[in-house]
Structure 1
Amino acid sequence: MNIRKKVFFDIMLTFHPFGKQLNQFLEEYELRRPEWAIFYYLNSEPQLMLSEIGQILNFDPANVTRAIKYLTKINLIEIQPSSSDRRKKEIQITTIGQQTFEVLQQKISQFEEELVSGFSQEELEITHRTLETIRHRLLEKE
């Protein structure tokens, strides 16, 4: 098998066990990966609009809406009318949401650190750039 085929085969083989491990952390908080991804961006980039988050994650608007409703239902976020524009709504992380995010982020960061320990900064940067380029090329084909 040539190296190009090996790369894609390895990506495919890596995705499932990584997702399975991640789900184990999330299940404790009644979350799945789509909700976690949106919740992560709401915490990390609070100025982003939902449509922007959907574009970044390549989620269709219905999935974003569904995730937002679920995050509201489990009290991690709340939606309030915008003080500056009544047509818009602002999403705020609740106190429970902030605490949940901090605990989950710490657990996931530790897990990720274990996975990449022993790799140099340069190796990680090359891997990141390579995967990012592949992802962008895939998105261009949609």
Structure 2
Amino acid sequence: MSFHNGFFHHNLQFSRSFTKKLNEQLAKVDLFHSQWLIVYYLNQYGRSTLVEISNYLDVEKPTVTRTVNRLEERKLIEQIPGKDKRERRIQLTELGERTYQEAKKVVDEFELQLMSGLAEEDREVTLRTLLFLKEKLKQ
């Protein structure tokens, strides 16, 4: 198997395993990975539209809409009236902010445990590699 075939194959396997294990951890705060991504985004960037979230996550808008609806049912996010009635802006509620804080602790602990034993230099090279490949995909 050539390097690039092995690299990308293992990357896909890692991504699936990571998501599965992260879902197990996020269950402690009653979230799924897909919900965490949106809660995280809203915490980082504030009020946003479904299109902005969809573009950031690089997923289809209907997928984001379904997840946002579930978060809204759970009172973690709320709609904010906009200038244009067709535009749906959302933000975290107080409960959503508290859930973010709890989930962030769970995610940080999981990620730190996963990265333990990996040299700082290797972490930096891995991050640079992923960011480089991500940029190439945008071209």
TM-score by length of 2: 0.83
Between 1:97-106 and 1:113-122, the stretch displaced more is: 113-122
Q: Higher relative CO (CA 8 A, sep ≥ 6), structure 1 or 2?
A: 2
Unaligned runs of 5+ in 2: none
Distance 1:3 1:33 in 2: 29
The answer to whether the 8 Å contact 2:78/2:92 transfers is: yes
**CA shift in 2, pair 1:118/1:46, >3 Å:** same
- The residue aligned with 2:116 is 117
Cα 1:48/1:92, change in 2 over 3 Å: closer
1:98 equivalenced with 2:97 (yes/no): yes
Aligned positions of 1:1-142 closer than 5 A? 1-82=1-82, 85=83, 87=85, 88-138=87-137, 140=139
Structure 1: stretches of 5+ with no match in the other structure:
none
How many positions carry a matched residue from both structures? 138
User: Aligned in 2, Cα 1:6/1:73: closer, same or farther, shift over 3 Å?
Assistant: same
Q: Over aligned residue pairs, what C-alpha RMSD do you find? A: 2.2
Three-state SS of the structure 2 residue aligned to 1:31 is coil
Whichever residue aligns with residue 98 of structure 1, its letter is: E
Instruction: Give percent identity, aligned residues only.
Output: 31
